[in-house]
Structures are given as structure tokens and as C-alpha cells.
Structure 1
Amino acid sequence: MITLIVGKKGSGKTKKLIENANEAAQKSNGNVVVIEKGLKLTYDLSHQVRLIDSDAYGIQGADALLGFISGICAGNYDLTDIFVDSTLKIIGHDMKALVQFTEKMNALSTQADTRISLLVSASKEELPEEISSFSVQI
């Protein structure tokens, strides 16, 4: 299952991510992963959450992020939740690429039986129509 957490900069998306990730870590019988650009959330997340800096692994672009997340899923059968902060910064500010990426993440989520949440810095009105079928939190 894919969830999009959308809103303009300063709208509270990261706070929502922190709450959701910490809650998932408490309830999960498996592993919770947060992927972000930089390590700003180090002290906000529970020690049970695996925090990964996308910059440390040179992840740039939708295909690189998809491959990285696929590798995480392939190497960890106990993975229950993945949260991706700053999705548009990592894949590029291209809404068409976001649509394709979201569709691929949805397929991966089903295959790996993992919940995936993507934070998108855009208003709901800016999102392409193709994304409206996914669960959107504001």
C-alpha cells in the first residue's frame, strides 16, 4: 500500500512522518526504514527505526531510488514500513516521473507486502490526476 503525504514546505509533512514512523516502530513485528536526504531526523526517530541518508549512497533520480528501495525489500523479509522524505528532491521535480515512480512503488509494495509512504512537497492540487487513486494525507 502506498500513502502520499503532501503539502507545501512548512506544512508539517516531516512531523507527520516522524509520528507515523515512530508509531509503526512500536506496532511493527518487523523493521521500519526511513530514507531521507541528509540526517536531520536522527534524534527525532525512535532507535528502532533504521534511518538511511540517500546522499550517502549517491541516490539521484527515480530509477536509483526504486532500485535502492527494491534492494532494501529484497534483503529484508521482515520489513513492514518504508518512509521516504523529500521524494521530489531525490527523484527530481518532475511530476510525470513522480507518477511513474509511484506506480512502481505501488507494485513493489504489493510484491514485498510492505507499506510505503512518500512525502511530496506539493499541494494536492499540483498532483497529477493519475496519483489521485493513492491514499493522500495532508
Structure 2
Amino acid sequence: MTTDDVAAAVIKRLSGKVVIHRLDAYSTNSIYLKFDYGIVNSLRISDHEGKKYLSYRYNILLDQQVREVRHINGYDRIFYPPSMLDRCCDEILAAKEQKLQYYADYDGVMKKARRDSAYARGFWQKAWEVYPDEA
């Protein structure tokens, strides 16, 4: 299973349930997905440990054997093996449900995040939105 295979499966599973943006790394096999303009965090799919200064809430590592929660810099980062892809997706959807309850105007928050990302550097410069019919 490749990182692209895992990304395709995640996109298929979550398509139509969250807005998905994708960025493929240039120098590695890593793939990054952001959900609902980052409101529901991000997923890194990779075949290697990431850079220390970057942190993603959800991580699927091809060589990961078990689900593991690492508390780093005040945040929980969750690492899954590819075999737990469904659980990862379920936890992403559960996080969205929590955000829907937290924000009185979730659509408004998402519109603001969308506006803010329009000219942001980094991820947003190179990422593209994955549409449900592409899944």
C-alpha cells in the first residue's frame, strides 16, 4: 500500500462529509489533507517520521503498527497504521461533530477560514480542493 493508495481511500471515505484540500510533498511521498479549511485539523499520510517543527493532529504512517496518541507541545497527535484507516476517518468525522456543536455558526466560521486561506502562504498556495466526484 502506498501513500497515494491511503489518500485515495481516505478521500473516498470522507468525500461529501468534509471539504478536503490536498497537497502532495515535492521531495517525499507525504500527502497532506486539510478538512473544512483546517477547522477539523489535518492528516499527514507518509512513509517516514515528519519534521519536528510540523505537527498534524492525524497521521497515518505506513510503518506504524498500532494506534498511538502522542502528547506534543500541549496537543494530542494521533498516529495510525494504514489498517486503521476507517478508525482515523471516524475520529475525523467525530471531531467535525464536536466543532459543529462548539460553533454556533459553523458555516460562518468555515467561510472566514476559506477567506483567510485564499492568500495564505505555505499549504494553501499549492493545495487544491478535492471534489466529491473525484473520489
TM-score, normalised to structure 1's length?
Answer: 0.31
Q: Which has the higher helix share?
A: 1
What TM-score, normalized by structure 2, do the two folds share?
0.31
Q: Which is bigger in relative contact order (C-alpha 8 A, separation at least 6)?
A: 1
